[in-house]
Amino acid sequence: MVVPARTGGFAGAHAGNQLKMPHDICYVLSFGLAARTVLHTSLMEELRARDLTVAVLCPGANEAHMQALAQEHALSCYGAPRIGGRVFDRYSFVRRYIHEDVRSNPALWSRHVRDCERTTRLHKRIRNHVLFAMNRLLCVSGMQAVLPRNVESCIYTSRAVRNVLTIADPRIVVSTYPVDPLEAVTLAEARRSGIGTVVQLLSWDNITCKGRFPVLADQYLSWGPIMTGELKDRYGLSGRRVRECGVAHFDAHVTGVSVEGRRKAFDKIGLKCGSEYLLVGMSSPYFAPGEIEIVEELARGVSGGLCGSSMCLVVRPHPQNVRGYLADESWLPRLRAIEGPRVKICWPEMHDSVMNWALSKDDMTVLVNVLAGAKVVLNSGSTFSIDALCHYKPVILTLFDGTAKVPWHRSARRLAEYFHIQKLIGTRGVRVVENYEGMWSCVRKCLSEGDADKEAVSAAIHLECGALDGRAAARIADALQDIVVNGKRGREGG
């Protein structure tokens, strides 16, 4: 465990031997993308400007990159204990069948079918079918609404997390990904201790795709109107408990683009300044298993002059493509094989860390400058689509699997039915293609027409992430300051 002093100096000690060091805020950050929106933005600077002290609970607290961030931001950084065990892990698997209508949620239904498909042991197959039968019975009978939640409060507990909270002594705990076991347990322990709780949601799919949050919070920081509506519909939250602040790491789309930034980004990926290019933002193979074939097709077409004699292609793999339990390492040599004079790979810059997908602080600067220079952006429906809209780029969703015949529950086709992507498509700020012919036709149309439909894109940006003015971190800091000073602590929310 690394515990930097307020001045940024470091002192290591075991939790049991440490004195309390009171903080205003304790962020619990379970993986690298969560750390990015908190530690790689101006949020820490904004919080310091409001005289708020911050602690962070995360994996890899003693690693060099985290120590550097703690030094830079004068944070107290606590190492995350392991969360889990046989009972905890089994319940975490079962709980979606208790609290959700699995069949009516495409994200959860496809996950159920995949679980059944890949399970080779008979007893697990039987378990999955029994759980689904139980789920249907609960849905039909309406019993989901009255199931006692005190069972979960007994499971989501950790003495080690409780010890860290005792030492850090925060006034509020903030989670960005409340379905993660570490974050759920920390919220639960905070509530038991009478500490205020806040959820500052990391991603647009968290509410509808990840299942019911194990632990609800006192206050929520929402991206924009769509997310606010989902919190109200899903959890019945009143307006006073949800504050629309925007997305801290989206501020970089406004403040992080510059001539010098673009030059450095292009140098890193080997692209000549002034080049025209299509940009592909890849997703995890879990969501788009045929995407590597689509990228190879784009590389062949661009290199062969289908988009003109000077057009290039830049491919940005998702961090989950490259490393972690969602990666498919067979894609990596295929990506390297397509590199050439007119095809470049913009690899995500990641630390070697126990924290999954721990990105370097410079990575966001590279990303926003590469986005700013693109002519057209293609993506299969990840947050990258909204990143591109923030630059008013034509966005094409490639919701197909190349030439492969993939069953619905594993196909990128299913993503069009996911609730959060349906809402994005409904804004009319993006275009959807379902085969190669449609993709090339749409690319050529976007290139000939130039900029995206600014009215539709502006509406999409507003609905998804509120005001895009480079001030989201400041609004989040204002909200957290108000909650620290005036917010109700303790027992609001399920």
| Residue whose pair of structure tokens reads 């491919």 in the numeric block | 315
Task: Give 70's contacts (C-beta < 8 A, 6+ positions apart).
Answer: 2, 4, 8, 10, 56, 76, 77
Same domain, yes or no, for 77 and 91? Answer: no
Q: Is 103 part of a structural domain of the chain?
A: yes
Q: Is 128 part of a structural domain of the chain?
A: yes
How many residues does this entry show for the chain?
Answer: 494
Alpha carbon distance 206, 229 (integer Å): 13
pLDDT under 70 in the chain at which residues? 1-18, 144-151, 488-494
Same domain, yes or no, for 325 and 421? Answer: yes
Angle at 353 between CA 347 and CA 262, to 5 degrees: 30
**Boundary-marking domain end, from 105, 121, 147:** 147
Alpha helices in 169-282 (DSSP H): 181-192, 206-209, 225-235, 252-255, 259-269
Domain containing residue 21: 2-82+158-246+472-486
Q: Is 153 part of a structural domain of the chain?
A: no
Q: Is 152 part of a structural domain of the chain?
A: no
Per the CB < 8 A criterion, the answer to whether 179 and 32 are in contact is: no
Same domain, yes or no, for 441 and 367? Answer: yes
Pairing of strands 219-222, 196-200: parallel
Per the CB < 8 A criterion, the answer to whether 214 and 451 are in contact is: no
Alpha carbon distance 344, 266 (integer Å): 10
Q: pLDDT of 415-441, one tens digit each?
A: 999 999 999 999 999 999 999 999 999
**Boundary-marking domain end, from 147, 170, 197:** 147
Same domain, yes or no, for 394 and 459? Answer: yes
Same domain, yes or no, for 238 and 224? Answer: yes
Same domain, yes or no, for 195 and 132? Answer: no
Q: Is 77 part of a structural domain of the chain?
A: yes
Same domain, yes or no, for 278 and 339? Answer: yes
Pairing of strands 343-345, 312-316: parallel
Same domain, yes or no, for 107 and 76? Answer: no
Which pLDDT score is estimated for 11?
A: 33
Q: Is 459 part of a structural domain of the chain?
A: yes
Q: What stretches of 252-349 adopt beta strand conformation (E)? A: 277-281, 312-316, 343-345
pTM, two decimals, is: 0.92
Both tokens of 89, joined, read: 């892990």
Q: Residue 268 maps to which CATH number?
A: 3.40.50.2000
Same domain, yes or no, for 381 and 447? Answer: yes
Same domain, yes or no, for 368 and 329? Answer: yes
**Boundary-marking domain end, from 106, 125, 147:** 147
Report which of 334, 309, 300 is spatially closest to residue 440, judged by C-alpha positions.
300
Task: Give 437's contacts (C-beta < 8 A, 6+ positions apart).
Answer: none
How many folded domains does the chain comprise?
Answer: 3
Task: Give 6's contacts (C-beta < 8 A, 6+ positions apart).
Answer: 53, 74, 76
Alpha carbon distance 1, 56 (integer Å): 11
Same domain, yes or no, for 400 and 337? Answer: yes
Same domain, yes or no, for 111 and 211? Answer: no
Q: How is residue 402 annotated by DSSP?
A: T
Which pLDDT score is estimated for 8?
A: 35
Q: Is 56 helix (H, G, I), strand (E, B) or coil?
A: strand
Q: How many CA atoms lie within 13 A of 278 on its CB side?
A: 31
Q: Is 491 part of a structural domain of the chain?
A: no
Which pLDDT score is estimated for 472?
A: 98
Report which of 181, 139, 141 is spatially closest to residue 161, judged by C-alpha positions.
181
Q: Is 492 part of a structural domain of the chain?
A: no
